[in-house]
Chains A and B, each alone.
Chain A
Amino acid sequence: MGAALLPNMLKRSVVECIGIFLFATALAFVTNFFRSDGLPLLRPKLLPLASEDNQGNKISLQTLKEKFEQPGVIILDARSPDEFAEGHIPGAKNLPYYEFAEKASVVLKTIPFDREIIAYCEGLECSNAEDLAFLLKENGYAQVKVFEGGWEEWKENGMPVKRGEG
């Protein structure tokens, strides 16, 4: 009896499983359609990923020195708000990589997509700036660069420092 029952139960489970999938998918799309903060079904066409053209994306301290006085260039600090408050590159805005989802809309609201953005984090060891650059590209920013040396190199070279929430 058990041997004959097993294929039936298996078949029934598979059918139920497919049913659950279809039901949940239908619910998901209907709710997503009607809610105000629903997501677009497909992400818009993407720009090349940061990881693919990393080399061209990285800038040195020398380049940053030239750029950081220019008015159009945006500098983003990918570290935590606490680290940012302890000291950052003057004029930089704080957009912590780990709080991207919450803070991106506020910080990026005023930054046009064609603006040149330079991201940095603690130093050579950290990857948050690169990851932030990746997310920025995902979100449509065309010119995102990473200052590899990060905060450590900036500070060690006696560059100007600003403290506070900025």
Chain B
Amino acid sequence: MEGKWDARKKGRGMIIKKIIAHPYTALIGRILLGGIFIYASLSKILNPDQFAQAVMNYRIVPLVSVNLFAIVLPWLELVSGIFLLVGLFSGGSIAMITLLMALFLGAIGSALLRGLDISCGCFSTDGVYKITILYFIRDLLLFALALQVLFYDRGILSVDTFLRKRRAVNPPHNLFVKPLTPP
């Protein structure tokens, strides 16, 4: 009896492991993360001064360089979000998104620890939504999703795979090598 129970438990564990490591889970993760990053970048790109204000409120980035940070970060989100969604430079874009998620987690965590009463500045820069532990948990889940994609993405429905297949069929000509001419 005991052995059977263990086996069933083990079987369930295997299923969960399979789901976590499944390439389709990575595909869903890519679409979700890509979409979220694109969406999050838009309001920041549209309202740079408000986003700079939100960055300043965290009091992490040195004040002189707040603007540099606020100018670059939304575009980093947008570019890596688009690349991840379509699956172009997937390895690089998911690495970038994982790094950004780690950065956001650190920022929110430290803001909570310091008891800062500030708005998140994560999605909407309108300053209404105050930061809470829920933001940290949400980002933790997104970070886990990013790690899943980082490790298990097999490039389903991605431009990368499409290009690789096409290259395999028609190898590119090397322009700098003289074609062999018959003697």
Contacts and interface: CB of A to CB of B under 8 A. Distances in A.
Nearest to B65: A42
Interface residues of A, number: 37
A12 B91 CA distance: 8
A23 interface: yes
A118 B106 CA distance: 34
A15 interface: yes
Say what secondary structure dominates the interface of chain B: helix
A14 B67 contact: no
Nearest to B50: A101
Interface stretch (B5-13, B15-23, B69-77, B166-174): B69-77
Interface in A41-64: 41-43, 46
Contacts of B76: 20-21, 24-25, 28
Interface size class of B (residues with CB under 8 A): 35 or more
Interface stretch (A32-40, A84-92, A140-148, A155-163): A32-40
A28 B75 contact: yes
Most A-side CB within 10 Å, residue of B67, B74, B83: B67
Interface string B54-80: 101100000111111011101110111
Nearest to B62: A43
